[in-house]
Amino acid sequence: MAESKQNHFIKLLLILSGFIVIQTAVGFLSGLREFQYYGRIVYLMEINVILTVSLALVNGFTGQFSLGHAGFMAVGAYASTAVTTLLPKLICGNPLSAASPADHAIFVAAVLAGGAAAGVFGIIIGFPSLRLRGDYLAIVTLAAGEVIRAGLRFSDFLGGPRGIPGIPAFSGAFYVGAFFLLSLWMMRNFAYSRYGRACVAVRDNEIAASCMGVNATVQKVSAFALGAFFAGIAGGLFAHMSRYINPDNFGFLKTLDILIFLYIGGTHGIAGGIVGAGIFTLVPECLRLANLDAWRMVIYPLILILVMRFLRDGVMGEREFSFLIPWKFKEMVRNRNQSNRQVPPQRREDRKEEKSKEPRP
Amino acid sequence: MSSYLLQQLVNGLQLGAIYALIALGYTLVYGVIKLINFAHADIFMVGAYVAFFAASFYAGSAAFPPQLCVLAALALSYLITAVLFERFPVRKLFRIASLPGGARLHAIAENAAKLLCITAVTCAAAPLLLVLSRALFSTHNGLLFFPLLVLYVMALCALLGVVMERIAYRPLRRRKRLSVLITALGVSYFLENFCSLPMVFESKYRAFPDLLKRVDILRVPGFDVSISNMFVINLAVCGLLLVLLWFLVEKTLLGKRMRAVAFNHDAAALMGIDVDGIISLTFVIGPALAGASGILYAMNYGVLQSPFLGFAPGMKAFIAAVLGGIGSLPGAVIGAFIMGVSEVFANSVDSNLGFAAAFIILMLILLVKPTGILGKSEQEKV
């Protein structure tokens, strides 16, 4: 069922305008007091999607295992807050108030600066540590995240362990929605670009990729830095939504949350990040509404364990939303999926194992 | 000044004994199945909590919690059922699997039988365990109580470890290592949150009863350094368990099998070694040591903050294992003492520095010598 180019773009346009309509409606509704909470859930969902997909760039596409994502989020959050809250307080006594267009321009610049700062941290941490593999990389990135958090606790200028209160509430429907679309668009473009495909090659077989002329280190570090950049942007948005941040918001548990989103959704594409973060931001809130508040954090990891046991590649597996695939690559993806289907199912090996386990007569 | 430093050194060794027992569990499991068992820190936490409940029952400040016995009975019954059904396959008894459509029927029947067995054993074992634990800890002899407590906690933690391995890790044996690692993260997160439930351990500050007053039993003449009874107990428990472990690993046939499995699974299996059994054994020994460490932790700190308390000591112990060379037992002990001493010194400079110092040490080792002090490097083949 080959899709015409026109249909593809019409579909994309429809989905885009649908998103804009919904986002506008959410923006209006969350202005009302009784819907404020639901509006926040939607924004949180979008921020979590950015975080999850940015982690997918490292853990999914490039096949590395980073456990320090919350650290980059913290860098983004603190850097952007420094620009919008701390510096104005220092210079003219009170933080920005979202009153004039100039303030809004500063906010956008602040979020981007937060992303850039996180990206720089990503390069600084990624360059030495990406020489390591597998478990060791996981621990070093975990350590890096914790060191960032400890550093934030130290610095008196950034509030120390008490954190920063009174951040202006910039992150509304417009900014969260806009940054959400922009980041997804950019990450998708990266994933299908020459660099993104080189990253996938590094994941599949590093030695073979090097033989094809791919510089593995450069690919890994660039994916890592880009992931950190978008995590920083998500951090900036988060800080201006929750209006209060402290270093413990960005501890190991936050990283674990993002990892759970990613691995439940599936690491092979952007769709996995969207589905994982989307559903699993909602699930705890639904459990909260169902008065299962205490149980929600128990069910959460249980689902992760079950998904790892029975689904292997997460809910989405190798699938991707078709509107997320650039037109140029549709053919390629379809061919790849078809050739994947012709491969005999992998379960055969498991069955063999089961048979051999039967006790001999 | 020198006496101050010496005193810090003593305190560091006291802390190092706690870390050493945890670090051994990490390094054992990593040595045998190349998995960073993130849930190990939470077994340590469970050990501390079990010790707390037993000690407060002994001190007469609280009743023995029945939910602990129910959970232990549940784990025990799961283990018994799993082993029973492995040894005596039901399919041989009923032979329904060969009938048309019988495979599904058989699976249903088998699962139903398992469930029934688990329920029955739990119902039988839970009251039994409760009575047994109450009888064990109603002794008023302090000298008898402490060894009993250590054995009891070690047994429960070992049970938890084995069940965890069977449920979460064994089905993933042939998978990529990363998916097992993620499962381990999930198990850790699950245990922390499950134990925080009000009906399990409940997340609140709990003061550990004073089993024995902290007394300075020795003053080093010339220096202003005192050695407390806590220090002696820590080092004695740690030393005793280390000697036992060393004996088991180096001097017995079981230990030889363990070393063989750690060396190469397939070759060990070809030599007739039950690889799954040996892996289960490492999940008995590691958690048992973590449980003992949990008791020491609870006694030294005197307060249990919440079921998330395992994270920081677990992380430091893990770093100790990496520092010593992960997979190497003596390395883990050396690393743990280094970590303990360095943490105490860092804390005496600034209380925020302790935790960060651990991670900075870790990053430095991994960047300079990723194999650690005593680790062997592995050649990577194409």
Query: DSSP letter at A245?
Result: B
**Confidence class of residue B288 from pLDDT cuts 50, 70 and 90?**
very high
Mean pLDDT of chain B: 87
How many beta-carbon pairs below 8 A join chains A and B?
Answer: 108
Tokens of B343: 């943490």
Q: Report pLDDT digits (tens) over A278-314.
A: 888 888 888 888 777 778 788 888 888 898 888 878 8
Q: Would you state the pLDDT for residue A113?
A: 95
- In Å, what is the CA distance from A261 to each residue of A289, B62, B238? 20, 41, 40
Distance in angstroms (rounded) separating the CA atoms of residues A100 and B325: 58
Average pLDDT of the residues of chain A: 85
Interface probe with B: pick from A263, A308, A349, A354, most Cβ of B within 10 Å: A308
Helix axis angle, B177-196 relative to A134-154, nearest 10°?
40
Average the pLDDT over each of A102-116, A197-211, B360-374 and give the range with the smallest value: B360-374
To the nearest 5 percent, what fractions of chain A are helix, strand and coil?
75, 0, 20
Across the range B182-195, mean pLDDT stands at 92
Mean pLDDT of the region B141-146: 80
Interface of A with B in 211-250 (CB under 8 A): none
Mutation to test the A interface, candidates B183, B191, B274, most A Cβ within 10 Å: B183
* pLDDT(A164) > 70: yes
Which own/partner pairs from B272-278 qualify as long-range (CB within 8 Å, at least 24 positions apart)? B276/B170, B278/B32
Q: Residue A264: helix, strand or coil by DSSP?
A: helix
Percent of chain B having pLDDT more than 70?
A: 94
Cβ atoms of B313 and B41 within 8 Å: the answer is: yes
Residue A319, helix vs strand vs coil: coil
Hey, are the CB atoms on A349 and B174 less than 8 Å from each other? yes
Q: Could you tell me the sign of the dihedral formed by the alpha carbons of A54, A55, A61, A64, in that order?
A: positive
Of the ranges A97-111, A329-343, B296-310, which one carries the lowest mean pLDDT score? A329-343
- Angle at alpha carbon of residue A301, lines to A300 and A306, rounded to 5°: 105
Q: Which of B89, B186, B322 sits opposite A304 (nearest CB)?
A: B186
Say yes or no for a CB contact (<8 Å) between A301 and B190: yes
CA-CA distance, B357 to B347, in Å (whole number)?
Answer: 9
pLDDT value at residue B12: 92
User: What pLDDT was estimated at residue B247?
Assistant: 95
Residue A300: the pLDDT is 82
Is B103 at the interface with chain A, CB within 8 A? no
Reported as a pLDDT band with limits 50, 70 and 90, residue A154 is confident
pLDDT at residue B135 above 50?
Answer: yes
Query: Using CA of residue B227, residue B229, residue B232, residue B234, what is the dihedral sign?
Result: negative
Q: Does pLDDT of B289 surpass 80?
A: yes
Residue B377: partners with Cβ closer than 8 Å, 6 or more residues away: B371
Q: Could you tell me what percent of chain A has a pLDDT over 70?
A: 93
In this complex, do A309 and B196 lie within 8 Å of one another by their Cβ atoms? no
Asked if the model's pLDDT at residue B199 lies above 70, the reply is: yes
| SS3 state of residue A132 | coil
Residue range B76-123, pLDDT digits in tens: 999 999 888 888 776 666 666 566 666 777 778 788 888 998 999 989
Query: Taking a C-beta distance cutoff of 8 angstroms, is the pair B113, B166 a contact?
Result: no
CB B282 within 8 A of CB B28: yes
Nearest alpha carbon to residue A158 among A83, A256, A214, A56: A83
pLDDT, mean of residues A109-113: 94
Contact: B370, A136; criterion CB under 8 Å: yes
Please name the residues in contact with A300: beta carbons below 8 A apart, sequence gap of 6 or more. A260, A280, A283, A284, B189, B193
Of the two residues A241 and A360, the one the predictor is more confident about is: A241
Q: What percent of chain A has pLDDT over 90?
A: 35
Chain A contacts of B382, Cβ < 8 Å? 207
Q: A144–B363: do the CB atoms touch at under 8 Å?
A: yes
Residue B14 Cα distances to B42, B210, B222, B234, B350, angstroms: 21, 18, 22, 6, 19
The dihedrals phi and psi of A97, each to the nearest 5 degrees, come to -125, 10
Contact A147 B360 (CB under 8 A): yes
DSSP-assigned letters across all residues of B153-210:
HHHHHHHHHHHHIIIIIGGGTTS-HHHHHHHHHHHHHHHHHHHHSTTTT-SS-EEPP-
Task: Give CA angle at B49 (B46, B54), nearest 5°.
Answer: 125
Are residues A65 and B181, on separate chains, in Cβ contact within 8 Å?
A: yes
Mean pLDDT to the nearest integer, B23-41? 92
A146 with B177: Cβ contact below 8 A: no
ipTM of the prediction: 0.86
Give yes or no for a contact between A292 and B193, defined as CB atoms under 8 angstroms apart.
no
The nearest alpha carbon in chain B to A294 belongs to B197
